Structure 1
């Protein structure tokens, strides 16, 4: 009886320690509001590991804040963009490699969405939304944007928006790629007469189509949802090949790496993925999870997705940005 009591006490202590453990997760406030808080609560209920949210307004701000506390990091899991992650991963003292063998959902993740440096949380495809009653024929492919009938009728992302996806896409469509970018610049020069607005922010993109300045918008699916009440007969198409942009999770090098890895794995499960995708009007990285209905039926096959090499993009970003603004968005 005495041994049984000792065993019970030890078990209770283990449960108490587990329930007392807390990991700190840094993410955008909107990410917490649109699914991550609910996922964190379910994770705590299942594992006993508490999740403490730490807000950030941008990925760049988040990286600065984490770096400032490198001697004693107060973040265990960090949500960021894939482009910022590509820079942060070089800091091997601050960021830890992810043990992919510890991820029970790893085999269900799309191939470009998982690495030892970061794992995707969800992704946004580049797409086209347009006023169906103002465009003579349905837009079905990227090449349609170069139609002379669309002069001054397109809002397209400036280079800094979506991390250069449109430039890389234009290059791919014309026989190049991220390592041969000149075809992309040539193609965007030809597109320029059709572009009324090279937008530098989401608010500028929304304003351009909501006010009727343009009828066609190259952006991400979230605009289809956001503009539904302001724009009648708004149509969406996601042509192939499709550049995608990831929001990702990174593992900070703290003593809580095991618990933090469990949380990353939990975010990758089917139910969690569908919650995040619904909240962000985005696409899950887990193949078993469904994107929102308006997106899922339009998505090209996985082998038609263009996943950008962020290391190469970061290396040339300043040069390509200057060139974009001097040669195209004059």
Structure 2
């Protein structure tokens, strides 16, 4: 179990004189396993040390971004967690405040930072291929090695790919790159996705549903993250994550203090706490997130299953959100017409 006592003392926020009742701070973050870990292990010690009550608002990244935009004139949320795509949009929309430099934020990998330091990476994961090893063995199939393998007709009705609002955007870009295009030349990606489409049994973004389909064998292959596959593998599910030869996509679980949000000092302290080696190690162990703090030393067994160290970061593909974000409305419309139908 994580030991918080020594670390949390660093982040104690002095209560105002005579104040006994705990204030309430709202954070918006992901649901599922992430919510469970935060509620049970990470939040309570911080609350106790800082005389603060944290209310957790669960939702996907798009939900959180929508809440921040709707409340822009009067924010209720103090700290927001989003996947990189949504976070880049949030920073661009001005709903994230600058992350104050602190003891632990100064030690993060450079690719954990956004322009202007308006958000910071909490953990890294890779988007690639996940397959059911038992189904592949039963069918005599070789393990997938490439993004192009998604086109193979033997996978008819056996692939799960999340929607374009989720991992689907990365599939589109990587298929474009694998077929001579890029973010700036997306046509080869759409042509490839039309060839892949018959193989897809579901355009599913829900982690629980994807896990179920891979476990039951309803799906043999999925586009997913290594952080999602790791806990299932630990539970004995016959899955394996593949880094495609063209490269897996570098993905960041990011956090920002909300511009104009309540309790700004506590929000900054909470972010520093999350970047401490102790909590970073815990998140790597339980959530499969590679640490953003480059000074973290992971046990070998944990290091082997997460994005860890500069060498691994260098092998991942960083997609260009400056190109993707402006094109997403048009791409989404085209995806719905030509791909996911």
TM range (shorter): 0.7 to 0.9
The answer to whether the 8 A contact 1:121-1:268 is kept is yes
Distance 1:88 1:260 in 2: 17
Deviation at 1:288, TM superposition (A): 3.8
Give the Cα–Cα distance (whole angstroms) in 2 for the partners of residues 40 and 204 of structure 1.
27
Tell me what 2:252 maps to.
246
C-alpha displacement at 1:322, in angstroms? 2.2
CA distance in 1, matches of 2:206, 2:148: 24
* Structure 1 pair 326–35 and aligned structure 2 pair: CA distance change class (3 A): same
**Secondary structure class of the residue paired with 1:250:** strand
Cα distance change of structure 1 residues 234 and 292 upon mapping to structure 2, 3 Å threshold = farther
Deviations 1:228-260 (A, max 9, x none): 7695x3333233511133332111234743442
Per the alignment, residue 7 of structure 1 pairs with: none
Alignment CA distance shift 1:242-1:287 (3 Å): farther
- How far apart are 1:120 and its partner, in Å? 1.6
C-alpha displacement of 1:164: 0.7
How many residues matched?
312
Q: 5+ unaligned residues in a row in structure 1: which ranges?
A: 1-13
* 1:260 match: secondary structure: helix
Residue 16 of structure 1: CA displacement? 4.7
Task: Report deviation, 1:37.
Answer: 5.4
Shift of 1:272: 1.0
RMSD across aligned positions (CA): 3.4
1:65-80 to 2 correspondence within 5 Å? 65-80=67-82
Give per-residue Cα distances to partners, 1:80-101, cap 9 Å, x unaligned. Answer: 2322222322343x432223xx
Matches within 5 A, 1:45-84: 48=50, 50=52, 52-84=54-86
How many angstroms does 1:114 deviate by?
A: 1.4
Does 2:328 correspond to 1:323? no
Q: Is the aligned partner of 1:110 residue 2:109?
A: yes
- Separation in 1 of the partners of 2:279 and 2:295? 11
Asked whether 1:39 is paired with 2:45, we answer no
CA contact (8 A) 2:158 2:199 kept: yes
1:175 Cα shift?
3.1
Name which of 161, 164, 167 aligns with 2:166.
161
Matches within 5 A, 1:1-330: 15-17=14-16, 22=23, 24-28=25-29, 30=32, 31-35=34-38, 38-43=41-46, 48=50, 50=52, 52-92=54-94, 94-99=95-100, 102-115=101-114, 116-135=117-136, 136-162=141-167, 164-221=169-226, 222-223=228-229, 225-226=231-232, 233-240=238-245, 241-254=247-260, 256-289=263-296, 290=298, 293=301, 296-297=304-305, 299=307, 301-330=312-341
Q: What is the CA–CA distance in structure 2 between the aligned matches of 1:134 and 1:163, rounded to whole Å?
A: 24
- Paired residues of 1:128 and 1:216 also in contact (CA < 8 A): yes
CA distance in 2, matches of 1:85, 1:15: 30
Q: Quick check: 1:282–1:291 contact (8 Å CA) kept in 2?
A: no
**Deviations, residues 45-69 of structure 1 (Å, cap 9, x unaligned):** 66x4635234233444434444554
Contact 1:49 1:259 in 2 (8 A): no
Partners of 2:299 and 2:224 in 1: CA distance = 17
In structure 2, stretches of 5+ residues that fail to align are 1-12
Match of 2:4 in 1: none
**Alignment-derived partner of residue 5 in structure 1:** none
Deviations, residues 269-322 of structure 1 (Å, cap 9, x unaligned): 222112223333333322344499477347572112223333432322221122
After TM superposition, the structure 1 stretch with the greater mean CA deviation from structure 2, 105-114 or 144-153, is 144-153
The CA distance in 1 between the partners of 2:194 and 2:218, in whole Å, is: 21
* Structure 2: distance between partners of 1:218 and 1:272: 28
